[in-house]
Structure 1
Amino acid sequence: MPAIINRELGNIVIEDSVLANIAGISAMESYGIVGMASKNAADGIFELLRFENLSKGIVVNTEENEISIELHVVLEYGVKISTVGENIIERVKFNIENLTGLEVDKIEVLVEGIRLK
């Protein structure tokens, strides 16, 4: 369900895919992230996504303009996972709120794997 911003002259509708793209680009700017992961539900194997498919590793839920985001990520070996996760959350929240004017209620970072960069 898209996010809707009501204005005096009309509405601005922002699709979940746009929010997912912003979240993916923002996450990739964070230190320690190798990429987004697309999880294969059948066998639990993750696939590292290319830049143009980043949004496939992101789930956005928008209900009555309450936005929750789930990011499936692959991190670089040797980084402190909790610190990188916090940085991803802060960057994604800041960029979505700054670019759209919407408030993000919840962001979850799911670490699907660790790789050498």
Structure 2
Amino acid sequence: MIKFENHLGSIEISQDYFANLVGHAASECFGVAGMVESTASQGLRYILKKDEAQDKGVKVRTVAGGLVIDLHIAVTYGVNIAAIVKSIVNKVRYTVEEATGLQVAKVNVFVDDMKQ
């Protein structure tokens, strides 16, 4: 659970909701070939279930009242990686802030693989 306190009370949003929201936004960006497992538990779940989970490669945590999002992606060979990363950061930040109203402090994008 991600929990925030404000003047109206307490806000609790599940980790799965954020991971699915962020994973969907990132995978829609041009040049993203897919998401890569970021933890051993995600890799094991993928092997056992044999399906593509939206939270694959996504980690969301709170730091000093803001959200920090880590994304592990695979990119398409031959595209400008810097442009892809900038696009992902902007889209993920906008999507999360519009859907939840919570401030995104940082989006870290890790390019772990390149596919053709």
Q: What TM-score results when the alignment is normalised by the length of structure 1?
A: 0.80
Distance in 2, matches of 1:101 and 1:5, equals 13
Shift of 1:40: 6.5
Aligned-residue sequence identity (percent) comes to 32
Residues 50/107 of structure 1: CA separation in 2 closer, same or farther (3 Å cut):
farther
Does 1:17 pair with 2:20?
Answer: no
Q: What amino acid is the match of 1:84?
A: I
Matches within 5 A, 1:53-64: 53-64=53-64
SS at match of 1:54: coil
Does 1:102 pair with 2:86?
Answer: no
1:48-105 deviation line (CA, Å, top 9, x unaligned):
x954x13131111114532101100000111100000000000000000000000000
Match of 2:114 in 1: 114
Match of 2:79 in 1: 79
1:18-46 deviation line (CA, Å, top 9, x unaligned):
111111000011000011001466xxxxx
Distance in 2, matches of 1:100 and 1:40, equals 25
RMSD over aligned Cα atoms: 2.2
Distance in 2, matches of 1:40 and 1:64, equals 23
Q: What TM-score results when the alignment is normalised by the length of structure 2?
A: 0.81
SS at match of 2:114: strand
Match of 1:38 in 2: 37
Gaps of 5+ in 2: 41-45
Gaps of 5+ in 1: 42-46
Matches within 5 A, 1:85-96: 85-96=85-96
Write 1 or 2 for the structure with the bigger share of strand.
1
Distance in 1, matches of 2:80 and 2:15, equals 30
Runs in 1 of length 4+ with deviation above 2 angstroms?
3-8
Moved more, 55-64 or 79-88: 55-64
Match of 2:28 in 1: 29
Distance in 2, matches of 1:40 and 1:67, equals 19
